Amino acid sequence: MLPEDMKTVEMKEPGKPEVLTLGSRPLPELRADEVLIKVHTAGVNGPDLVQRRGHYPPPKGASDLLGLEVSGEVAAVGESVTDWAVGDPICALTNGGGYAEYVAVDATHCLPIPEGVEMGDAGGLCETYFTVWSNLFFEQTLPEDGILLVHGGAGGIGSTAIQLSRAMGLRVLTTCTGDEDAAYVTGLGAERAIDFKTEDFVPIVREAGGANLILDIIGGDYVARNVKAASPDARIVQLAFNAGSKVEIDLMPIMLKRLVYTGSTLRSRPDAFKSAVAAGLKKHVWPLFADGTLKPHTHKVFAFDEAADAHAMMESATHRGKILLRP
């Protein structure tokens, strides 16, 4: 028997992490093509922080609650859903609503928990793997033995990008800071950890041959520096702008090197696109957990009433891997 109400993490107004408080709401209504998930863990991600600050409104029809990924078990299925049954262990990419005891999710945006992965850790898989797969590998042709430069390699996106890119045959260089972060990212498979506080990544990457792919969450002065570090015909993917989105840049090198500079958001993409990405992950990536090639990396799990602390840790960038919430 399902309860009528559920615990949630609410955001009464935009602001600092302290605006996050416990709340209660009725269970979400289930559409025919959705499954209702009883949440075991929910991932904390960069877009959650941006939404909390008031700059990333949810898409039309999506929950206003934070939370873009969860793991748990199926609590109910919509009338048109045939691939899932009540009680199935599951992880999912959501359009919002993950910071709650229950969340309704498009059934085609859900995946089985990979073999060898604990249910708790699986709450931190989907947002980063959907993002990395869709931007680096989905419908893309990659150079053999190409070089990926990923900024912020010790975080959730970075640690996923390092592991998955190594598994797909790329060489990986990454920026981070400090000896502990360097040991962490090289342990994941990075060929070179570049301390951004003491080293300039541009000459290091150029000496290695230039980056064929760059995954950036920083922005600011990194935009022009990424162009310098890129090899001819490279692709630069901007996922966030932690150092600002307004920059002055000379576009001539982009033309001369034939670079592709593109931005990416996942939440607003069509449902069919996310379904196709989920299918690609299930076929090409999820088996890599079973054989040990890929592993989840959970930094810390917070209770719902500690959501403000989880966001503060995320903003401090002192974590390695994923930060999770547990109802």
Chain centroid to CA 193: 21
Question: What pLDDT score was predicted for residue 317?
Answer: 83
Are residues 144 and 217 both part of a single domain? yes
- Residue 37 confidence (pLDDT): 98
Which residue, among 165, 244, 161, has the nearest Cα to 176 in the 3D structure? Answer: 161
What pLDDT score was predicted for residue 78?
Answer: 98
Please give the residue that has the higher pLDDT: either 57 or 298: 298
pLDDT exceeds 90 at position 135: yes
- Average pLDDT score over residue span 97-108: 98
Other beta carbons within 10 Å of 34: 23
Percentage of the chain surpassing pLDDT 90? Answer: 90
Is 182's pLDDT higher than 90? yes
Same-domain check for residues 321 and 256: no
Q: Do 295 and 172 share a structural domain?
A: no
Final residue of a structural domain among 215, 245, 263: 263
Considering the chain, what is the average pLDDT of its residues?
95
Kindly state the average pLDDT of the residues 238-244. 91
Question: Would the pLDDT of 255 be above 90?
Answer: yes
Q: Are the CB atoms for 270 and 109 separated by under 8 Å?
A: no
Rounded Cα distance between 182 and 153, Å, is 9
Residues 191 and 253 in one domain: yes
Instruction: Give the separation between CA 196 and CA 194, rounded to whole angstroms.
Output: 6
Is residue 272 located within the same domain as residue 259?
A: no
Identify the domain boundary among 225, 245, 263.
Answer: 263
Q: Is 42 exposed, middle or buried (0-12, 13-18, 19+ CB in 10 A)?
A: buried
Shared domain check, 313 and 217: no
Query: What is the number of structural domains in the chain?
Result: 2
The whole-number pLDDT of residue 318 equals: 85
Q: Is the pLDDT of residue 125 over 90?
A: yes
Residue 24 bridge partners (DSSP): 7
Tell me what pLDDT residue 141 has.
81
CATH of residue 233: 3.40.50.720
Could you tell me if 9 and 120 lie in one domain?
yes
Indicate whether 145 pLDDT > 90: no
276 and 196 part of one domain: no
User: Which is nearest to 59 in space by CA: 271, 217, 263?
Assistant: 271
Domain boundary among 263, 288, 314: 263
Residue 56's pLDDT is 86
Beta strands in 152-290 (DSSP E): 171-176, 192-195, 211-216, 230-238, 260-263
Measured CA to CA, the distance from residue 8 to residue 5 in angstroms comes to 10
Q: Are residues 34 and 113 in the same domain?
A: yes
Domain that holds residue 174: 130-263
Element (H, E) at 92: strand 89-93
Same domain, 134 and 179: yes
Q: Which CATH number do you get for residue 297?
A: 3.90.180.10
Q: Are residues 204 and 284 in the same domain?
A: no
Angle between helices 156-167 and 179-188 (to 10 degrees): 40
- Cβ-based neighbour number of residue 24 at 10 Å: 11
Q: Which pLDDT value is given to residue 268?
A: 87
What is the predicted pLDDT for the residue at 264? 85
| Same domain membership, residue 110 and residue 58 | yes
Mean pLDDT confidence for 65-82:
98
pLDDT in tens, 260-310: 999 988 888 999 999 999 999 999 999 999 999 999 999 999 999 999 999
pLDDT at 187: 96
The predicted structure's pLDDT at residue 220: 95
- Residue 64's pLDDT is 95
Share of the chain above pLDDT 70, in %: 100
80 pLDDT higher than 90: yes
